[in-house]
Amino acid sequence: PARLLPLGAPVAAAGMRAAAALLAAVLALGAALPRPGLLPHGPARGDARLRPGDDESSPGLLLRRALRLYGRAARRLYVGTNGVISSQDFPRETQYVDDDFPTDFPVIAPFLADLDTSGDRGNIYYRAVHRLNGKVSGSLRVGRASVRFQDVDLHAYIVGSDGRAYTAISGVPQPAARALLPLLPLGGLFAWLFALEEPGSENGFSITGAEFTQNLEVVFYPGGETVQVTQTAEGLGPDNYLSLRTHIQGEVPFLPENVTVHITPYEELYSYSSSAVTSSGHREYVVAAGTANQTLSYRLRQNITVAGCPHARPPARQRLSVARAFALFDSHEHVLRYALAARIGPAPGELQHPPPGANLPCHDGSHACEAPARCQPGVGTEYTCECPAGYRGDGRGCRDVDECSEGLSQCGPFSVCLNEPGSYRCECRGGYQPAGDGQACVPLAPPSDPCEAGRHHCAPGDRARCLSRGDGRATCECLPGYTGDGIHCSDVDECAQSPCHPAAICYNTPGSFSCRCRPSYAGDGFQCTYESIQQLTPCEHARMYPREVPPGPSPVGDGHVPQCDEQGRYRPLQCHSSSGHCWCVDAAGQEIAGTRTAPGTTPPRCGSPEPTERPPSMCERWRQSLLEHYGGSPRGDQYVPQCEPSGDFAPLQCHGDSGYCWCVEQSGREIPGTRSEPGTTPPCLPSVAPPSVRPEPRPDVSPPASGTFLLYAQGQQIGYLPLNGTRLHKEAAKTLLSLHGSIVVGIDYDCRDRMIYWTDVAGRSISRAGLEPGSEPETIISSGLISPEGLAVDHLRRAVFWTDSGLDRIERARLDGSERRVLFDSDLVNPRAIAVDPVRGNLYWTDWNREAPKIETSTVNGANRRVLVHTDIGLPNGLTFDPFSKLLCWADAGTKHLECTFPDGTGRRVIQSNLNYPFSIVSYANHFYHTDWRRDGVIAVNKETGSFTDEYLPEQRSHLYGITAVYPYCPGGKNPPKPHPLVNSGG
């Protein structure tokens, strides 16, 4: 029977820690919980109301000691009166209960503290709950680790009046705790036992009582891991607490620490006999890591056996509906928690009549009509289900009518029919506008293009460009390398910014610049290597030509004169002469992460930087042995194995000049049947697998046409969206590159080599591909990444920069992935967007740390780091640097603002203050283009007016991530890209 818990019992310290841990976990999940919350309340739900004047000392609610929270936790406390939560602020020592009962962050806590209801200060409700105690034992294999459970505590709280079940398993050993998040059936048993009963239905406790055994088998996909769970209910204890033993055995997939698991509502069918209950199903769950989501699934089968009762008449089948389900792990308290809200009712097609005296089904919600069907009352308890307009079916299941595919729409010519739930809408094709009737489309009279007609006042075409605004007007914009208003453009002296290598000379040219290495040096001007008869080692070269120290605080990396040994190699220990910092370096002089020591402390112990040579391979040892045997000069009829530069056997081996050839395997053994006669060569496959595995199907590039266009990342593909002036040419949009199994987030373009670069958070890699027909991806970074997100390409220095929100790092490397190094790995919480100004050599990035979001900058070498923006920002997702206006602009999903500032942080202004949920942004001409997670599309914003001018919504609706613009030229570059055959041929 339902009764009030004996709250006069002492509150143990462990119980307080568990309650506090649950409080912290639910606060962290606050944004994910639906509104209204999981805790409907009030007398209609069977709750009783405390009388005015009652407090924690009232009879039945007496605690032996009150729980008080201090510090940050005292800002807001959620207290539970037997499972019902009230929100209290802390204006002074006595806390008042809010008049409006909260539904934001539901949580159950088995304690009360400092409650005051005098003077009608608020309503506090309480209701009956059930409690279960138990132990968990067994063993699990998680990835490669084996984990044992030895009498781990399990507690469950049940609010029977509305079918809520909360399960907490404390002390779960890692890594099993996070891997068990998807295994909701561990707490799902209690949802079935105490589900809210619809009229004529019975939950599991009503049928089985307190003694039963559940056997559960779960098979995870795609890995096939299998786990068995046995839960045995051993009856009610002296305090009417249900006692439960749980045994778990098998294997579950490994989940990393930085993920959360989301479980969608579900339904299950239960079949009943006199002594057993069975069910099976297939569940999906979403594993989220940062901005990346992956949907996985598992199959479950469960069998519940009970002592048969000859008088029982259980239903043949019933349906369990779980409206809300949450799973979370508190890593501080090591507590795994499940929360479910469930109802039990008749299975489809087996509607039972409600008992006498029950309310009419259409009024009390006990009908079986499925949304969006409407319940139509009949005589007595009879009713019918009717599908609304735009749907068809019997009411128990209504399916949407696709008016577009069935020809039921009224869309006229030159329009596109788009199906919507229960309806449809007509959208005009490009070049057409709606007619007066709202259904037909008529041609849109295009305004004349002043740029083509020559009706503009822009500077000459070698200094400025004319941009048609699409409304008969035009704007002028200076080309990169020039400054001005577009009507008057003057050359920018890029050499004043010292963009070249210290051993190079900078030459300013109209609209650009070039770098040339000094005599006795070789390179492209951005990187110069000494090439004289007296060869300098890299250390000697860096010591002779130290880099300039940029303005600002004196950095430790740049401006440092390295110490070399007698052979010219870098000394393992390097110390900065002025600051006193010391650190270890490798053979290339790169700092070894984690070795830096502060001034005045003991320097680190550094090992020898000498590189270890690769030992000779089997092929090389065999070849050397035969050459020595033949005296160093084998005859034409003597066989000497041929080796690859890597040391592996060459797949094709030939016998001297006899002409006989054959294929070999990796160990050098001849593959039978491959020996050929003189004059022919057998086709041999490499004996060693290539270093990277190509995804399937072949991700060949579908080449773009000439002109300016946008590239955007959408899950497993990169999309192509051309621009007509600054308007989105939606009809020509297509998929540029398909990447099966990837989640592409950051994306940028190298204008010199016409290559696109992207980050993949699913593959934890960085890749690139050319824009030539049939180009395939090449992975340039495949290790040492967790969640690579933002990415930026410096086409002048031939470098790529990226952020990793899993490692909280910012790194750089050459465009081929070599010379990789960490720029920053401190004072970062959630780095996301990154942008580069190649001409001035500056780097910018955002950190959407919810406690202290910011936008920072440094040089491309990591010097002169400083914060540009740290006030009035929330979630700065997108960042772009405009080489024409020299403005740094960002899109904020927290403040909903699009803002810009000068590179020094001055001149900040708001362009648009009503964004939806921007993710990434790019600037081109007089427009911004950003991806939006509310619209799942590309949105265009005018820079001058801040107005929304256009949008593109792909047919395949899913989140869009990074976006970049591709121009037919390089901003500020010294080497313009060579014309591509695709451009000459028109695509």
Q: Domains in the chain and their CATH numbers? A: 13-126 (no CATH), 130-351 (2.40.155.10), 367-400 (2.10.25), 455-491 (2.10.25.10), 498-532 (2.10.25.10), 709-966 (2.120.10.30)
Residue 11's nearest CA partner among 66, 68, 54 is 66
DSSP, res 453? H
Tokens linked to 210? 């307190």
Residue 711's nearest CA partner among 689, 734, 688 is 734
Asked if 403 contacts 419 with a C-beta cutoff of 8 angstroms, the reply is yes
Residues 6+ apart with CB under 8 A from 806: 258, 289, 290, 785, 786, 787
Residues of the chain with pLDDT under 50: 1-41, 44-46, 55-128, 351-359, 533, 550-557, 609, 688-698, 973-987
Residue 254 burial (CB count, 10 A)? 16
* DSSP state string for 905-919: S-S-EEEES--S-EE
Which residues are paired to 881 by β-bridges?
888
pLDDT per residue over 397-429, tens digit each? Answer: 788 888 888 888 878 778 888 888 878 878 888
Residues 6+ apart with CB under 8 A from 937: 931, 951, 952, 953, 954, 960
Give the model's pLDDT for residue 146. 85
- Whether the bond between 499 and the residue before it is cis, its omega within 30 degrees of 0, is no
Q: Locate tokens 């740290």: which residue? A: 870
Give the model's pLDDT for residue 116. 42
Residue 129's nearest CA partner among 285, 225, 7 is 7
Helix, strand or coil, per DSSP, at residue 446 = coil
Three-state SS string across 186-220, please? HHHHHHHHCCEECCCCCCHHHHHCCEEEEEEEEEE
Asked if 891 contacts 932 with a C-beta cutoff of 8 angstroms, the reply is no
Longest dimension (CA), the chain: 111
Instruction: Collect contacts of 568-571 with beta carbons under 8 A, ≥24 apart.
Output: 568/536, 568/537, 568/539, 568/540, 569/537, 569/539, 569/609, 569/610, 570/538, 570/539, 570/609
**H/E element holding 622?**
helix 618-629
Helix, strand or coil, per DSSP, at residue 845 = strand
Which residues are paired to 791 by β-bridges?
802
State the Cα–Cα distance between residues 842 and 592, nearest whole angstrom: 24
State the Cα–Cα distance between residues 548 and 859, nearest whole angstrom: 12
State the Cα–Cα distance between residues 169 and 22, nearest whole angstrom: 11
State the Cα–Cα distance between residues 464 and 895, nearest whole angstrom: 35
Asked if 463 contacts 489 with a C-beta cutoff of 8 angstroms, the reply is yes
Asked if 17 contacts 335 with a C-beta cutoff of 8 angstroms, the reply is no
Pairing between strand 809-814 and 821-824? Answer: antiparallel
* DSSP state string for 497-523: G--S-TTEEEEEETTEEEEEEPTTEEE
The amino acid occupying position 234 is: E
State the Cα–Cα distance between residues 574 and 951, nearest whole angstrom: 54
Tokens linked to 770? 């050319």
Q: Report in angstroms the alpha-carbon separations of 550 from 78, 517, 547, 821, 864.
A: 52, 21, 9, 20, 7
- Whether the bond between 372 and the residue before it is cis, its omega within 30 degrees of 0, is yes
Give the model's pLDDT for residue 962. 95
Rg (CA), the chain: 35
Helix, strand or coil, per DSSP, at residue 618 = helix
State the Cα–Cα distance between residues 984 and 966, nearest whole angstrom: 17
Residues 6+ apart with CB under 8 A from 314: 202, 207, 272, 273, 274, 277
Asked if 663 contacts 651 with a C-beta cutoff of 8 angstroms, the reply is yes
Give the model's pLDDT for residue 130. 60
**H/E element holding 19?**
helix 13-28
Three-state SS string across 231-248, please? EEEEEECCCCCEEEEEEE
Tokens linked to 582? 């010391």
Residue 899's nearest CA partner among 916, 924, 880 is 880
**H/E element holding 543?**
helix 538-544
